[in-house]
Amino acid sequence: MDELFRENILEHYKHPRCHGTLEAADMSFEDANPLCGDRIKMDFRVQDGVLTQVRFSGVGCSISQASASMLCEHIEGRTLDEIKTIGRQDVLDMLGIDLGPVRLKCALLALKTIKAGIYGIHSDADDTEDM
């Protein structure tokens, strides 16, 4: 089963979904993992409380890039309130493999960036402990 998940990670890494940038985005947010050099920038377009488009760009390992691809694909079309409920275990379930502490930071960088962007749009910064 691990092999299936590893293939999915490589597929998202080699052919990322939602990759690129959005002109005239409603919000952009960038974050990095200084330990390994991963960097992700996300652009968001929101209409009536729904994330209508999200794009990511940046550099990083296969785990960070695949996680960003999977998460962007997962959140596009969802309400901001739905996105706020996505947590660390959801990301780990999407990836489907066990990760050590260093790789865990790589996997969660996209979620951290999404949450910072969404809370910036939604202006509810007090709720960030849910991540």
* Two tokens, residue 34: 């200084």
All domains of the chain in start order, with CATH: 2-122 (3.90.1010.10)
Which pLDDT tens digit goes with each residue over 39-56? Answer: 999 999 999 999 999 999
Long-range own/partner contacts, residues 22-28 (CB < 8 A, 24 or more apart): 22/53, 22/54, 22/55, 25/55, 26/121, 27/117, 27/120, 27/121, 28/117
pLDDT tens per residue, range 6-39: 887 888 889 999 999 999 899 999 999 988 899 9
Q: Output the pTM of the full model.
A: 0.84
pLDDT tens-place string over residues 77-120: 999 999 999 999 999 999 988 888 888 999 999 999 999 988 87
**Beta bridge mates, 72:** none
